[in-house]
């Protein structure tokens, strides 16, 4: 899974110079939205992004200083076209970015989060930011799946738990939240940053040939948990499929039938022949998967359609829900171009049609 927090969770706790930057607020037009994060080690960008260009370059320099001083901070960037600094006049908005100089202090929390996600349990990462009168910033992180209370001060616990539960119930659609609680001391308000973290959508690819391999790469790049099924061990192996999270060597129809499918499942069928395609497709009919795509020429698709309807393996309505011929029409010819067209269709369904 390519979540930046998981990367931190897998890092040696004694690794020096690790700094995490996260966009906590954004107004107007900005290159990244709240929740976007970047990981730095000794001032060098390792993973993620907080906006690229001038903003990221400045954050990277600051992260380098934080690695030495050990001091966390909230940075503000004015991207308005009338900003005093012409270098920042890029988008017409404003960003606030939290730079955490000690993300490895929270490694046990991040590992707990990672375990929950592996078990299919969504939750909320709660980050508490307090600033004392001498401007010293303290950052604490907590993980909740909504089933247990958070170890927070009484004056904020109930509100934060309520907000976290609402995020989980909404399926993460309410998005990243920032909540402020005023303090009685001459200090900044206590900030709580609530970030939904959900299991990745699952991309199941039937067929480990050239197209399946290319789609596997694109799927991981686009943030899917990728599973590839094939009955040929010479294709279904880690060397051939380095980007797959899971590789299943099994009869394609049986393997597909055994995999659970729901609204977060996307199925791409690119096997080596009509028979394998049909066996892979049968368990997907009426499964509730968000996307089922079948590769093939118009003649092949018409033949399979007639066969499925004749054998009552699918109704007319169920067949019409299949994306076939697969992919967006971009004039693709090469394996790589076909994979791009499939990936584009996956993004469209995931972001617009689902």
Say if CB 167 and CB 192 are below 8 A apart. Answer: no
Which pLDDT does position 82 carry in this prediction?
44
Angle at 32 between CA 29 and CA 33, to 5 degrees: 85
Neighbours of 152 (CB within 10 A): 18
Burial class (CB in 10 A: 0-12, 13-18, 19+), 139: buried
Which is it for strands 37-41 and 94-100: parallel, antiparallel or unpaired? Answer: unpaired
Which pLDDT does position 80 carry in this prediction?
65
- Using only C-alpha atoms, what is the Rg of the chain? 24
Whole-Å CA distances, 234 to 209, 230, 279? 10, 10, 20
Residue-wise pLDDT tens for the chain (354 aa)?
A: 457 888 888 888 888 999 999 999 888 877 788 889 999 999 999 999 998 788 889 999 999 999 999 999 999 888 765 455 555 555 667 889 999 999 999 999 999 999 998 888 999 999 999 987 667 899 999 999 988 889 998 889 999 999 999 999 988 777 888 998 876 665 678 899 999 999 889 999 999 999 999 999 999 999 899 999 999 999 999 999 999 999 999 999 999 999 999 999 999 999 988 889 999 999 999 999 999 999 988 888 999 999 999 999 999 999 999 999 899 999 999 999 999 999 999 999 998 876
SS3 232: coil
pTM over 0.95: no
Q: Helices (DSSP H) in the chain: which residue ranges?
A: 4-9, 53-69, 107-118, 154-169, 210-221, 252-258, 274-281, 298-310, 316-320, 335-348
Which is it for strands 94-100 and 123-131: parallel, antiparallel or unpaired? Answer: unpaired
Say if CB 342 and CB 215 are below 8 A apart. Answer: yes
Q: What domains appear along the chain, each with residue ranges and CATH number?
A: 4-101 (no CATH), 105-197 (no CATH), 202-353 (3.40.50.720)
CB proximity list for 6: less than 8 A, separation 6 or greater? 110, 114, 117
Length of the chain, please? 354
Which of 189, 161, 192 is CA-nearest to residue 177? 192
Angle at 95 between CA 91 and CA 99, to 5 degrees: 140
Which of 332, 280, 324 is CA-nearest to residue 303? 324
Burial class (CB in 10 A: 0-12, 13-18, 19+), 135: exposed
* Number of alpha carbons in the 13 Å side-chain half-sphere of residue 232: 12
């Amino acid at each position: 899974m390519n979540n930046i927090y998981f990367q931190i969770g897998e890092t040696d706790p004694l690794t020096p110079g690790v700094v995490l930057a996260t966009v906590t607020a954004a107004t107007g037009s900005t290159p990244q939205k709240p929740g976007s994060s970047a990981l730095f080690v000794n001032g060098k960008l390792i993973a993620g992004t907080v906006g690229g260009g001038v903003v990221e370059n400045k954050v990277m320099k600051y992260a380098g200083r934080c690695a030495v001083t050990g001091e966390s901070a909230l940075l503000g960037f004015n991207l308005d076209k009338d900003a005093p600094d012409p270098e920042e006049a890029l988008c017409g908005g404003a960003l606030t970015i939290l730079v955490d100089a000690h993300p490895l202090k929270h490694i046990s929390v991040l590992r707990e989060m990672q375990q929950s996600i592996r078990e299919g349990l969504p939750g909320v990462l709660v980050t508490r930011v307090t600033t004392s009168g001498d401007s010293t910033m303290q950052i604490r992180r907590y993980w909740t799946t909504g089933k247990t209370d958070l170890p927070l001060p009484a004056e904020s616990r109930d509100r934060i738990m309520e907000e976290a539960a609402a995020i989980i119930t909404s399926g993460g659609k309410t998005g990243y939240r920032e909540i402020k609680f005023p303090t009685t001391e001459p200090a900044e308000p206590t900030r709580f940053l609530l970030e939904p973290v959900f299991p990745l959508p699952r991309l199941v690819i039937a067929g480990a040939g050239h197209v399946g391999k290319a789609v596997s790469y694109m799927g991981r790049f686009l943030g899917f948990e990728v599973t590839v099924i094939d009955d040929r061990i010479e294709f279904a192996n880690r060397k051939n499929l380095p980007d797959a999270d899971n590789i299943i060597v099994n009869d394609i129809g049986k393997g597909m039938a055994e995999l659970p499918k729901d609204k977060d499942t996307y199925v791409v069928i690119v096997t080596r022949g009509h028979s394998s395609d049909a066996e892979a497709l049968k368990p997907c009919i009426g499964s509730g998967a968000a996307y089922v795509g079948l590769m093939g020429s118009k003649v092949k698709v018409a033949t399979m359609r007639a066969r499925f309807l004749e054998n009552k393996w699918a109704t007319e309505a169920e067949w019409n829900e299949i994306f076939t011929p697969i992919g967006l029409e971009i004039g693709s010819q090469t394996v790589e171009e076909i994979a791009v067209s499939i990936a584009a269709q996956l993004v469209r369904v995931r972001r617009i049609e689902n």
